[in-house]
Chain A
Amino acid sequence: MSAPARPTARRIPLKWLVPTLYILFLMLPIYWLINMSFKTTNEILGGFSPYPKNFTVDSYVEILTNPAWYMGYVNSMIYVVLNTVISVTVALPAAYAFSRYRFMGDKHLFFWLLTNRMAPPAVFVLPFVELYSSMGLFDTYWAVALAHCLFNIPLAVWILEGFMSGVPKEIDETAYIDGYSFPKFFVKIFMPLIASGIGVTAFFCFMFSWVEMLLAKNLTTVAAKPIAAVMTRTASTSGYELGLLAAAGVLTIIPGAIVIYFVRNYIAKGFALGRV
């Protein structure tokens, strides 16, 4: 950004101020959560304090040793990974079809897919519970993983289509002339070419399945209960366990932070859905 304007020495520090203040604003609530997670319940209820005076890791110990708590994380992870694998696998051939071929009703189909990314989950809660109960899948990982396909598959198709359209068609044609069959070409040549696109797509599926809670919570009761539901129960039954709640919250941020770190160089392009 230094080239366009006529930057003077006075203006450069000001430019830094905007992102710095913005990041400060983002970090403050997270700092407060971390701060709470290291306090004892007495200190929390005792009043305002900007940092933990009686530093304790009791909340974390409780979560990591009590199966009622840590199984919530395990359950969430399982359905999120299941969903990511399903979404990316079925979206790959579909995105290829949309990016390479014209076929009957292609535009309508594409639009219909997108409308599902935009369907409010609240509309679908009750019918989903009925549907998955009748299929005998209620309270299993599969119910949540399949339900999240509603918005993740359209998104995956959309992002992948963007990345695939960036690959010149001559590559396909040359491969076919060289005698490659479609499946062999797709796996051996095409997929490595869009590897970063597949990575970004997986990231987005992971992200939206990980953060969605309305469907995940309502499609499970005991066996596949996500961490969110465990947290809600704690908030309501055992009074005001703020320290535990905060520690559980901190632990839900960590997987996301790790995943972001790995895709940091592709994230901007991925957010633009491969269309920049």
Chain B
Amino acid sequence: MTKTENNRAWFLVLPVLLLVAMNAILPLMTVVNYSLQESFIAGFWDWVGTRHYQDVLASERFHAALIRQFAFTFIILIIEVPLGVAVALAMPKKGAWASLCLVLMALPLLIPWNVVGAIWNIFALPEIGLLGWGLNALGFDYNYTNQPISAWITVILMDVWHWTSLVVLLAYAGLQSIDEAYYRAAKIDGASRWAVFRYIQLPKMKTVLIIAFLLRFIDSFMIYTEPFVLTGGGPGNATTFLSIDLVKAAVGEFNLGIAAAMSIIYFLMTLLVCWLFFTLMTKDKEGQA
């Protein structure tokens, strides 16, 4: 669609701009403020320049949280994206069964995040939870409250349970947009199942899969509530991801300067990834036009 040049359109955007700016810019400036100063006595601030940033970037604790964060995001992406696509491909295409599948699959997405944590907490309890009891009955030594490996498995299973449906729904929406004629043509040509997937379904799903990838990356990168309720970041620091570490520093230890510097670094990382994806997406859109 060709758009008309019209600078008065700013008036239509103004309410959004004001509301989001109030929520985004003021708090961000507060954080920047904290990150450059040090408070020894309440109410008195000393300028410390970039010292907090240097401290954070050099601290092993931050590195460890960052590595855990990337490991977690990487693992859930390589599980959730292929699994979601596979489920979407195998789902009924339309009719009552498709509706039923969609409703049931969307259910985990609408459960408050602390309840997701609570559900898995109960489900995985070693003595009375179905998962914990089952695994132990099968002879595995499983206890997510004191074994890092068990805790990781539980947190990853929980995230797969919680978010794979998002990928399914997106991929399903992409598949819905494919015209039946393509499949008939492929059948006449005697195309294999793989060829149909590779040359018809995958290209059509490209945009939605980029969105799925982006949303899953960003949301898993800022994950807080679910692992916090499930494991509290433990055992030890085994499942302390960036957000949990940040809240620990800010609220738990009241280390405002350090927490603020961490926030800014964290935010810049998210912003960079966001920009990369956004460029990819708009390029893709222009390519289609």
Contact = CB atoms under 8 A, between A and B. Distances in A.
Contacts of A93: 12-13, 15
A123 B31 contact: yes
A261 B89 CA distance: 22
B166 A271 contact: yes
B122 interface: yes
B24 A269 contact: no
Contacts of B87: 18-19, 22
Contacts of B128: 44-45, 47-48
A23 B104 contact: yes
B108 interface: yes
B202 interface: no
Interface string A222-246: 0000011001100100000010011
Contacts of A228: 112, 114-115
A204 to B, nearest CB: 10
B208 A103 contact: no
B120 interface: yes
B187 to A, nearest CB: 6
Contacts, number: 303
A228 B226 CA distance: 12
A232 B274 CA distance: 33
Given A232-B114, A264-B103, A104 B1 contact: no
Interface stretch (A55-63, A187-195, A252-260): A252-260
Contacts of A103: 5-10, 13
Interface string B11-36: 01101110110111011101100000
Contact of B270 (A104, A119, A232): A119
A81 to B, nearest CB: 15
Nearest to A274: B173
B57 interface: no
Contacts of B173: 268-269, 271-272, 276
B256 interface: yes
A53 interface: no
B27 A124 contact: yes
A29 B103 contact: no
A269 B86 CA distance: 19
Contacts of B108: 26
B89 to A, nearest CB: 7
B130 A256 contact: no
A96 interface: yes
Interface string B161-187: 100111011101110110010011011
A122 B19 contact: no
Given A119-B24, A260-B103, A18 B112 contact: no
Interface string B216-248: 001001101100010000000000001110110
B283 interface: no
Interface in B243-273: 243-244, 246-247, 250-251, 256, 259, 263, 266-267, 270-271
A119 B49 CA distance: 24
A5 interface: yes
A27 interface: yes
24 contacts: A16-B90, A19-B87, A28-B130, A29-B131, A29-B161, A101-B4, A101-B5, A102-B5, A117-B218, A118-B270, A121-B222, A121-B224, A123-B263, A125-B251, A131-B27, A146-B19, A210-B112, A213-B114, A214-B224, A242-B122, A252-B111, A265-B99, A268-B173, A276-B174
Given A207-B109, A210-B110, A276-B176, 17 more contacts: A4-B193, A23-B101, A33-B119, A48-B127, A48-B128, A50-B130, A101-B5, A113-B16, A120-B224, A120-B242, A122-B224, A127-B31, A256-B107, A257-B110, A264-B103, A272-B207, A276-B208
Shortest Cβ-Cβ A-B pairs, 4 listed: A256-B110, A127-B27, A120-B222, A18-B90
